[in-house]
Amino acid sequence: MSSSSSCSSDPRVVGFIDMDAFYIAVEMQGPFKADLAADKPAAVVQYNSGEKNTADCAADDRKRFDVKTGTIIAVNYPARARGVKRNMPGREAHKACPELVLVRVPTKHGKADLTIYKQAGNNVVSILKSRAAACEKRSVDEVAIDITPESDRLLAEEPFAAVVHRARAAGTYLADSEASTTAAAVSKDATRKGHAGQLSS
């Protein structure tokens, strides 16, 4: 998807979706979803690059839960509330949250096998394509979407100022914040705090 310049006669409206805690969400739909309740702290770890002779472990292998080491790459909200963070070593995370459930990324040929996450990301893209003018997968859990037709439809029904006013009235974090005046001022952390706040309200 090519971006249009500010001088373009056909400006596009492009959205960017970063799927939060995506690896955990995928695991919660997998063969061990019973072990990963939404209200229980959990995280996904990847083996450390310095490890040698990492044994292959398929997506449906329960040994993926028999881990204490590795680096955390995804954390659900209950674990975040207990101080568990991305890039934290598994052992350190267990000290912060002893009941934390760790699940290791599948491995194949001694390397991380992201197949289950890539397939899940592709499924999301397929759904988005049914509504968006165009989609471009940027990573396993990130997608850019062209929502120009939908935004044109909405703005034909209601002026932009009314749309913004309705968002502010709804009390969303970004619409109410001073940071919302410029997209560049909104950090990833601020966005996540807004999302978490909306979930809890």
Catalytic positions: 142
Tokens of 28: 């919660």
Asked if 143 and 20 touch (Cβ cutoff 8 Å), the reply is: no
How far is residue 170 CA from its own chain's centroid? 23
- Longest Cα–Cα distance in the chain: 60
Q: Apex CA 117: angle with CA 201 and CA 53, to 5°?
A: 125
The owner of tokens 């396993």 is 140
CA–CA distance, 90 with 43 (Å, rounded to integer): 9
